[in-house]
Structure 1
Amino acid sequence: MTDLRIRRTKANIQRAFIQLVNQVGFKHVTVKSIADTALINRQTFYKHYEDKYQLADEMIDDFVAIYDQELEKRLVLKAQNVSFEESFGILFPEVQQLVAHRFDTLNALLTIQTDQPSLEKKLQQVMIQHFNQFLPEEMTAFEKVIISSLLVNLFDYFVTHKQLPELADVKKTLTDFLLLLK
């Protein structure tokens, strides 16, 4: 278990980083501005992160891991013979809550573009991995990429509109889209 002071310092650094990215954009955030906002010195920042890029990558990976845990719940439901549609109805409100509680973080992370895969790309990769476990095998790789892209864009929609669409609207859109592919 990590020392409470270390966890608190990292949380302050991350909060400062998110605040700054949302205010001035990732490109204009500096280690000095993060340290000043977090009320620490730069050396303290460097004890935890190499630079702002490592901080961004770690925060993206953390968000993806949390989302991955939500998708893991689908596998549990599948083992209980819960249909995909029913699972979607169970898990969608949890995803809504996940993104609602992390709005500022999600808003910032979606804007970060580095030489590492973006949040969207990592979310899409995780979705495709899970699709391989719980969607019909006859779905092509192309269909999986398209569906995962649509679902990832729900995060962008949420940030832009400050709300997720209703479950019924998502289901209808996905169903209509799948019918177009057939």
Structure 2
Amino acid sequence: MSKDLRSIRSVQNIKKAFVELLQEEPFEEIKVSEIARRAGIDRQTFYLHFVDKYDLLEKMNQDFIDLYKPIIFERLEVGNSFALEKIEKIYQDNWLYIKQHRQEILSLLSIDTGQICLKSDLKKMVIQKYQEVTGKNLTSFQKEMVANLYVESFITFIKEDRKISKKEIEDLLTYIREFIS
């Protein structure tokens, strides 16, 4: 096996072990030695790839953000309209990945170290893009509400662990329009 392939496999095993451990205990209690043991590597191999568990968490969060940034940006480009077909397409096109990585995503979203928080990073990204797309300078309250709407909707979609039908999206958007009118 080549060194590059071995390195890739080690990183994959580290990430998988980390997610498994997050299902068993809180982030704060997880030790690098546990991650390494679960990944089938020694601690030195872990440290070849990551500085510590916080670095691992940051890199996994960034991988997720890099993957989903285009999806979130595409949704924000819809603007203020409720483009049902576009919303449905975004969710349906990404269903398989979300289904396969559901536990990993939910685990990452549950961690807030005070310095590292995927949910907060997603909210910041949404606000920045929303203001760019709309040209609006939002108040703190408006920023929080817009960010919560987008990010919490996304999290709910992941938690549902099923395809959301066009009818469900349509009914929800109708309800929202009626509610805010």
TM-score normalised by the shorter chain: which range applies? 0.7 to 0.9
**Separation of aligned partners in 2, 1:169 and 1:139:** 30
Partner of 1:126: 125
- Preserved contact between residue 18 and residue 104 of structure 1 (Cα < 8 Å): yes
**TM score, norm. by length of structure 2:** 0.78
| Length, aligned pairs only | 178
Q: Structure 2 matches for 1:7-26, cutoff 5 A?
A: 7-26=8-27
Pairing 1:52-131 to 2, within 5 Å after superposition: 52-74=53-75, 84-131=83-130
C-alpha contact (below 8 Å) 1:16/1:37 kept by paired residues: yes
Cα separation, partners in 2 of 1:167 and 1:114, compared to 1, 3 Å? farther
Do the aligned partners of 1:70 and 1:91 also contact (CA within 8 Å) in 2?
yes
Q: Are residues 66 and 176 of structure 1, via their aligned partners in 2, closer, same or farther at CA, if it must alter by over 3 Å? A: same
| Correspondence for 2:161 | 162
Shift of 1:74: 5.0
Measure the CA separation in 2 of the matches of 1:75 and 1:149. Answer: 14
Query: What stretches of structure 1 of length at least 5 have no aligned partner?
Result: none
Distance 1:114 1:26, change over 3 A: same
CA-atom RMSD, angstroms? Answer: 3.3
Greater CA drift, 171-180 or 100-109? 171-180
How many angstroms apart in 1 are the aligned matches of 2:78 and 2:168?
A: 22
Ranges in structure 2 where 5+ consecutive residues have no aligned partner: none
| Larger deviation, residues 133-142 vs 92-101 | 133-142
2:115 partner SS: coil
* Change over 3 Å in CA distance of 1:115–1:146 after alignment to 2: same
* Residue of structure 2 equivalent to 1:47: 48
Structure 1's 107 and 29: CA in aligned 2 closer, same or farther, altered over 3 A? same
Distance 1:158 1:59, change over 3 A: same
